[in-house]
Amino acid sequence: MRSASLKRGYGAEPPVGCGSRAPESFEAFAHLKNPGCVRAGIESKVKAVVHDGASNMRETGRANKWMDVSCSAHKLHLAVTGAMGVDKVSNSTISKCVGAASRLVGHFSHSPLATTELEKRQQQMGVIGENGQPLRLVQYIKTRWNSVHDMLQRLVKLR
């Protein structure tokens, strides 16, 4: 039988360390018994909580006497995007370049005519994807790590 989470379109079960939904406050989360930990029989073995720096997760760790570990990859991502200025209004050269590239990709995403023409040009140039289909442009999405890189890389490839 399929779990309720699969029916909702999520993975089969939340990973160990994740609740079924994100609570608004640490009080709502701190006293919950995590079903993944209980199922695995490791609830007494959990010693630390790794998180993105959210205050509710810090408080959850304190309430459960877990070691507080901020995710270094998340901190690095915040530092890089902050330095590039892509998460805020900025006049930096990188921010302007990312904005222009994002608008260009957005044009192709919203225009079937432009997309068809791009596909024709790819066929003429002999540029195809791994599956034999024309390549699609990749849009920058703030919450998707590396999407700036992926967007610019695809634009260079289709130049």
Tokens read off for 76:
């690095």
pLDDT of residue 150: 94
The pTM is what? 0.59
Mean pLDDT on 88-116? 88
Higher pLDDT, 158 or 39: 158
Domain boundaries, the chain: 4-70, 86-157
Asked whether residue 133 carries a pLDDT value surpassing 90, the answer given is no
Q: Which of 135, 114, 138, 106 is nearest to 123 (CA)?
A: 135
User: Do the beta carbons of residue 102 and residue 151 sit within 8 Å?
Assistant: yes
- 68: number of Cβ within 10 Å: 15
Listed residue (103, 97, 109) closest to 137, CA to CA: 109
Q: What is the residue type of 89?
A: V
Query: Is the pLDDT score of 93 beyond 60?
Result: yes
Q: How would you classify residue 65: left for phi > 0, otherwise alpha for psi between -120 and 50, otherwise beta?
A: left
Percent of the chain with pLDDT over 70: 74
- By three-state DSSP, how is residue 140 classified? coil
Report residue 151's pLDDT band, with 50, 70 and 90 as the boundaries: very high
Percent of the chain whose predicted confidence (pLDDT) is above 90: 23
